[in-house]
A and B are shown apart, each in its own frame.
Chain A
Amino acid sequence: MNTLPLKITRAVLCLVVSPLLFAAPAQAQEAAEGERLFKARCATCHTTVEGQNRVGPSLAGVFGRTSGSVEGARYSNAMKGANLTWDEATLETYLANPRGVVPGSTMTISVTSADQRAAIIAFLKAQAGG
């Protein structure tokens, strides 16, 4: 059997291995973009600091949380009764049109770009440590 020249073997290995190495940084990049978007679009009303409620509730630990449940935070009556569990799927539909999902919500902004929603959700998920 002919052995491949070392150069070609190395090149092939690089091509195979590098996507695996880049997977984690790509996710990190999405979360970094999400942080930038959070500051631009969300930070007017929300923080990711536990206990720091502003116009909207703190989003620290929002993943897996039931809607309208942060102690001491201000919620519209609509949100208090919405009974959603926040995860990738519910956040994706909600952020696209908050008042479509929760009529009567006082969250009047929306994130119309799917890419931006994904980045923000990645950032919020990273805040929870996973």
Chain B
Amino acid sequence: MPRLNVNGQVREVDVDPDTPLLWVLREQLALTGTKFGCGIAMCGACTVHIDGVPTRSCGLPISAVEEAQKIVTIEGLSPDGSHPVQKAWLALDVPQCGYCQSGMIMAAASLLEQNPKPTDEIINQEITNICRCGTYNKVRAAIHMAAERGNAG
């Protein structure tokens, strides 16, 4: 039976190996923070971290994920919303409808791990998540704020 390491816990899941990770997270593991947006890895609403790398889970069959790989979902980003990206998102009121924001936050958190002080140009290039409400300006501002404040708290 496939086993996955999700948010620090090893979970056994009784599913077909072709099942996309997104389905397993939401249905078998009841971690519904990660969203289905397009199903073709274009929108980013399904973004999780696999070994720290932002990965779109909608098209990724779990046969392609090893037990040793650490999957982190939005629920696991912090125990209490205290990740600098989450705090900046709150401070600047970034989400509108909120649907894309789990994926957006995961993408932003990973960007800041790679590049602690990204410019607007880098943010535009690296964050390819789609937001129908158009919160992009606030997303950029919040990423800058999270970069400023960093992990100093």
Contact = CB atoms under 8 A, between A and B. Distances in A.
Do A and B associate with each other? Answer: yes
Interface of A: 36, 39-41, 44-45, 54-55, 74, 76, 106, 108-110
28 contacts: A39-B125, A39-B126, A39-B128, A40-B42, A41-B42, A44-B55, A44-B56, A45-B55, A45-B60, A54-B50, A54-B51, A54-B55, A55-B50, A55-B55, A55-B60, A55-B65, A74-B64, A74-B66, A76-B63, A106-B60, A106-B63, A106-B64, A108-B20, A108-B41, A108-B59, A109-B41, A109-B59, A110-B40
B63 A109 contact: no
A41 B41 contact: yes
Interface of B is mostly: mixed
Contacts, number: 40
Contacts of B63: 76, 106
B127 to A, nearest CB: 10
Nearest to A56: B64
Contacts of A44: 41, 54-56
Nearest to B69: A55
Interface in B58-107: 59-61, 63-66
A109 B39 CA distance: 9
A36 B66 contact: no
A54 B54 CA distance: 11
B40 A109 contact: yes
A103 B55 CA distance: 23
A40 B64 contact: no
Contact of B61 (A40, A54, A108): A108
